[in-house]
Amino acid sequence: MRYRTRFSHEHYVCPNCNEKLTKSRVQNNWKCPDCNEILSIYTTDDNHVYQRKMGQDIVKYDSVKLPSYKDSFDVLDVQYQNGKYSVALKGYTVISLKEEDWLNCIWGSWDGDVNSL
Ligand SMILES: [Zn+2]
């Protein structure tokens, strides 16, 4: 499995600058180009708000959404070795992320009204 999945409909907002950003400005690392804060990604695919985290930013208790799984998985542990991140997911398995990989972590939910962003 490749851990670089995106949703069909995504809106990128920096919670720090309170600014909406275009994909071209954020898709390198999914952080704010102005303040480096991890972006809030609002999707209408499932009405969740996500943080899209590279391995270095993933921490214990993050709630990871994998493609084709309805439920999310809690992070138990993250370890870095030989250029890869090993992320242990509760009730699933340990997955291996390369430097350029990311996981979609559930940050909250919203009403799906894109005009309110
Ligand atoms: Zn910002």
Measured in Å, residue 31 CA sits from the centre of ligand 1 at: 8
Cα 70 to Cα 55: distance, rounded to the nearest angstrom: 22
Instruction: Quote the domain boundaries for residue 34.
Output: 10-112
Q: What is the pLDDT along the chain (117 residues), one digit of tens a residue?
A: 677 899 999 999 999 999 999 999 999 999 999 999 999 999 999 999 999 999 999 999 999 999 889 899 999 999 999 999 999 999 999 999 999 999 999 999 999 999 999
Contacts for 86 with CB less than 8 Å, ≥ 6 apart: 77, 78, 79, 80, 94, 95, 96, 97
Measured in Å, residue 51 CA sits from the centre of ligand 1 at: 14
Domain-located, residue 93: yes
What CA dihedral angle connects 4, 92, 87 and 46, to 10 degrees? 40
Domain-located, residue 78: yes
Measured in Å, residue 15 CA sits from the centre of ligand 1 at: 7
Cα 30 to Cα 52: distance, rounded to the nearest angstrom: 6
Say what the pTM is. 0.94
Domain-located, residue 2: no
Residues within 5 Å of ion ligand 1, judged at the Cβ atom: 14, 16-17, 32, 34-35, 37
